[in-house]
Amino acid sequence: MAQEITTPATTGTTLVDVKGLKVHFPIKGGIFNRTVANVKAVDGVDMFIQRGETLGLVGESGCGKSTTGRAILQLVKPTEGSVVFEGDELTKLSPGALRQKRARMQMVFQDPFGSLDPRFSVGELVAEPLKNFNRGNAKEIEEQVADLLRVVGLNPFFMNRFAHEFSGGQRQRIGIARALALRPSLVVADEPVSALDVSIQAQVLNLLQDLQGKFGLTYLFVAHNLSVVKHISDRVAVMYLGRVVELSKSVEMYEMPLHPYTQALLSAIPVPDPEIESKRKRIILEGDVPSPVNPPSGCNFHPRCWKAQAVCREVIPPLEEKQYNHYAACHFPG
């Protein structure tokens, strides 16, 4: 019998526990500038991240992946829900306590060209968080910056150069060095390789994996490239229109997806073997993704789902454990 999603809190391995997370952005209109509607970017996300793992968060553009990552870090204020990090409820912390907690959680941004201030040298960019949290005097901070640049594969000799003098891959390494400066336990990587050349993507992914082992990092890896997520993730969460629809170990997700949306996504990944590829059945979804301003009743996916029945249009399926450690939000999984 299916059980509601539970977090393995008793094992002491859970770093982040997210329950009922919602982020709604108001739409203003009229002569009085009143709220006339809400964009339901994140609309009830439940998931947990275990210490030391990489959780891949995937879905098509606009499904709420990046907003979920930012809401976990409290860069975007949640409308509703709970985010527990290292035992503390982040949504209820005072500004001062939250600032101190932010040293333990950092973000690597998608765009290495736009996330680095062009007015700062590379050394100043990496040193900024160290100065903000008083992590040493000027000489000590300079030594830490040099060490961080070496760790990410850059020559410390170039710390006086500016970001525009580096390639995209090198800029992303600078962003990673800055994120590691305060020795966080959680790093949210928001599509960190999507803006890079394919030849550079593997290098950055391998770097992230090496750093995870060296610093004991936990990653929330946000991406829309399923092949990249398969390569780096221990577990995968699939989002559709603001909700997590499936959550399981990476191997199980790719071999035996339970949710129809996940099945459709995976069917679109080409197989390098022409004979196998010619026999595969591609699932073509009908219609467009509904608007997050006015999502469908019941299951968000029911207007495009070939399994949909009356209950799907009326009842929101909870994210439940359908198989051991394999969760799906579907009335008719498999």
Average pLDDT over the chain, rounded to an integer: 90
- Check pLDDT > 90 for residue 7: no
Reported as a single tens digit per residue, the pLDDT across 124-174 is 999 999 999 999 899 999 999 999 999 999 999 999 999 999 998 999 999
CA distance 158 to 89: 40
Reported as a single tens digit per residue, the pLDDT across 109-128 is 988 788 888 899 999 999 99
Structural domain boundaries in the chain? 3-104+187-195+214-328, 114-183
CA distance 68 to 47: 11
Residue written as tokens 């219609």? Answer: 287
236 neighbors 247 (Cβ within 8 angstroms): yes
Q: What are phi and psi of 182, to 5 degrees?
A: -95, 10
| DSSP letters spanning 177-198 | HHHHTT--SEEEEESTTTTS-H
- Check pLDDT > 80 for residue 311: yes
Average pLDDT over residues 26-42: 88
Average pLDDT over residues 193-207: 88
CA distance 306 to 184: 44
CA distance 296 to 314: 9
Average pLDDT over residues 44-56: 95
Give me the half-sphere count of Cα atoms (radius 13 Å) on the Cβ side of residue 283.
15
pLDDT of residue 273: 62
Please list the alpha-helical segments (H only) found in 81-189: 95-102, 122-132, 138-151, 168-180
pLDDT of residue 78: 96
CA distance 262 to 255: 11
Average pLDDT over residues 84-113: 92
pLDDT of residue 11: 39
Average pLDDT over residues 290-311: 93
Residue written as tokens 């966080």? Answer: 184
Percent of the chain with pLDDT over 90: 74
* In this structure, CATH architecture of domain 3-104+187-195+214-328: 3-Layer(aba) Sandwich (3.40)
CA distance 290 to 145: 46
Residue 193 has which token pair?
A: 């390789």
What band does 285 get if pLDDT is binned at 50, 70 and 90?
confident
CA distance 256 to 108: 31
232 neighbors 54 (Cβ within 8 angstroms): yes
- Check pLDDT > 50 for residue 4: no
Greater model confidence, 11 or 260: 260
pTM over 0.85: yes
Q: What sign results for the dihedral spanned by CA atoms 239, 244, 250, 255? A: negative
What band does 5 get if pLDDT is binned at 50, 70 and 90?
very low
What band does 62 get if pLDDT is binned at 50, 70 and 90?
confident
Please list the alpha-helical segments (H only) found in the chain: 65-72, 95-102, 122-132, 138-151, 168-180, 198-215, 226-232, 250-255, 260-267, 274-279, 310-314
pLDDT of residue 276: 62
Look up residue 14 and give its DSSP letter: E
- Check pLDDT > 50 for residue 8: no
Residue 78 has which token pair?
A: 């949640």
